[in-house]
Structures are given as C-alpha cells and as structure tokens.
Homo-oligomer: A and B are copies of this chain.
Amino acid sequence: MNSNNVTIYDVAREAGVSMATVSRVVNGNPNVKPTTRKKVQDAIDRLGYRPNAVARGLASKKTTTVGVIVPDISNIFFADLARGIEDVATMYKYNIILGNSDSSRDKEVHLLNTLLGKQVDGIIFMGGRLHEDLVEEFKKSPVPIVLAATLNQGYDLPAVNIDYEQAAYDATQMLINHGHDRVGFITGPLEQQINGEKKFAGYRRALEDAGLPFHDNDMILGNYTYASGLEAMQKMLQRDDCPKAIFAGTDEMALGVIHAIQDAGYSVPNDFEVVGHDNTRLATMIRPKLTTVVQPMYDIGAVAMRLLTKILNAEEIEEKNVVLPHRIERRDSLRQD
C-alpha cells in the first residue's frame, strides 16, 4: 500500500490522458477542461500519486528549497530567527535546509557549497563576520543570498538588520541619563563587526556626546555566554572605580552580569543598573526583569525570507538593505525615572 513509486505516467494511463496533461493538473495550469481535470484528479486520488519533487527539480531547475546557514541553532537568538525564516518560507511553499556553521570559515564555505550542490533556490546567511573567502564564494553563487542579522562587508548583499550603532547609543545614553558618569560595556569579540564597529561606536558616541571620557577598562569582552557575562562582571566588581551602570551586548551576558552583582551582595537596580540587548525570552525570566534593547529576531528572519522570495520572484524591491526599527524595553533592572 506504499503510495510509493506511482509516477505521473501511471496516472496518465489510468486517466487516459498524456503526462503533460497530468502535469498541468498537478501544477494548477488553467488550460485544462474541467471534465479532464476531474478525471485526472480522480486517478491521482485512486493511485495515491505524490509528485516527485526531485524529478520536478531537475526538469524545472527549481527546488522550492532554500538553504539557511546559522552559527548555532541551539542558541536561542538564532533559533528565533530561524523560526521567522521558516514560517515565511512555509507561507511561500518553500522548505529550508538548515546547517550550523559554528561561525567557522571552513564550515561556512563547505556548507555553502553543499547547499549550492543541492540546487537550493536561495540562501539566507547568518554569521558574526563575513570572511573574505566566503565573500568570494558568495560572488560566485548562482542563486541569491540574503544576510540576516549580519552586517554586509565588502560585497553588497541584501541584508536585514537593526541599527546596532544607534541601539548601543540609546542604551548607553539611557544609563548616562540616570546619572552615571561611567558605563561598563560587556560584549562579544570585537572582530565581529557588530561589536567592534557598531555597538562599540554607539557606546563611545554616547559617552562623547555626554562629555564623558572613554575608559579602556570599562569594556570587557566575552563570548556571548552567561558564564562569560558573569565572569566579566566579577572581574569588574573587583575594581574600586567599578561602573555602576552596565550595558551588556546580549541578554544572556546581561543575566550573568546581574547574577554576578547579586552574588556580590549588591542590588539591581538600587546599586547597579543593567541594560541588555536582544530582548530574548530570557529578559523576563530573571529578577529583576531586564531592561533591554529590542532586536526583533523573529521579524528579522521573517523579513529576510520575504526579501528572498521577492528576489526569487523578480518582484520590485524598494530597498535591499533593510533596517528594522529597534527600541528599548524598560523593565526593572533600571530604576524608575
């Protein structure tokens, strides 16, 4: 009873028509007489025919599959993004092949080539840093590539992001406005443009605009994890001139920061104020609840996928470099004004 291996040809014979007609019916082509359509549809149902997408892909050169390259799907941030991508993909009848790169250049390149070999119709890429080898590969890609939550570098690809510089500025400024003359900045590696060029720049600009000096040791770099946030803050707490306001590059690091503060016997927000970044679900799973920059991960994924479908359908594109709005969600890790 395997609905297996019944082909378009079997259906054609059963219905007494040609393959081409069956193909038209299956693909909703209007040039089929209703009675014929019915006849074919009945045959399809009777035989339990299911079109072979591989054969279809070979003949049509379209696989209705897109590749998604992500550093690590087990990271809540990328998981949200992926969900946004998948939802929109489903909406447009695409499936996604998902691959983890661990932000390794080799894995990224390898994955890209595997996906291209599988004839995906397009690719959505996420990664902290666009290595130039990878950009070379991108240039050779026969299918469109869209960046999600990933900054363009050297090669002008369609991309969906928020304004990280401004977001960092806003967060830092908010802390400064609360009367702090020093603001600690704990984030990920500076090699990643998003930290090194954007968030850092926003942070410095906010200090500057407030007439505050930048202290080298007010900035500590980690690797995005809870543990690295905790550790960074522990280190900072040992200083006599420890900043009483902290802007953390991700929510997970912010949780680490808050716990380090609490473990040392201080209170958030009374002794220290903390602002995070991303507004992952974690932000409300801590006491005090975290004030954080809202980066709409799901939306970034969804918009990126939508952008890709537009490119695939050769639709009009207003702007291939999409900047989604951000805002700061105020919660209890900041004192009331």
> Which A residues lie at the B interface, using CB under 8 A?
1-5, 48, 50-55, 57-58, 63, 65, 72-76, 79-80, 82-83, 86-87, 90, 95-100, 113-119, 140, 142, 226, 252, 255-256, 259, 262-263, 281-282, 284-287, 298
Known A96-B97, A285-B285; further 20 A-B contacts with Cβ < 8 A: A1-B140, A52-B58, A52-B119, A53-B119, A58-B58, A65-B97, A65-B118, A73-B73, A74-B76, A74-B79, A74-B298, A75-B79, A82-B98, A86-B98, A90-B100, A95-B118, A97-B97, A97-B98, A259-B285, A263-B287
Chain B residues in 8 Å Cβ range of A53: 117-119
Complex Cα gap A142–B262 (Å): 56
23 interchain pairs, CB-CB under 8 A:
A2-B140, A2-B142, A51-B117, A52-B58, A52-B117, A54-B54, A54-B118, A55-B58, A74-B82, A74-B298, A76-B76, A82-B98, A87-B100, A90-B99, A95-B97, A95-B99, A95-B118, A96-B99, A226-B285, A255-B285, A259-B287, A263-B287, A285-B286
Interchain CB contact under 8 A, B113 and A50: yes
Complex Cα gap A119–B51 (Å): 10
Interchain CB contact under 8 A, A86 and B99: yes
A54 partner, pick from B72, B119, B140, beta carbons under 8 A: B119
Chain B residues in 8 Å Cβ range of A98: 82, 86, 96-98
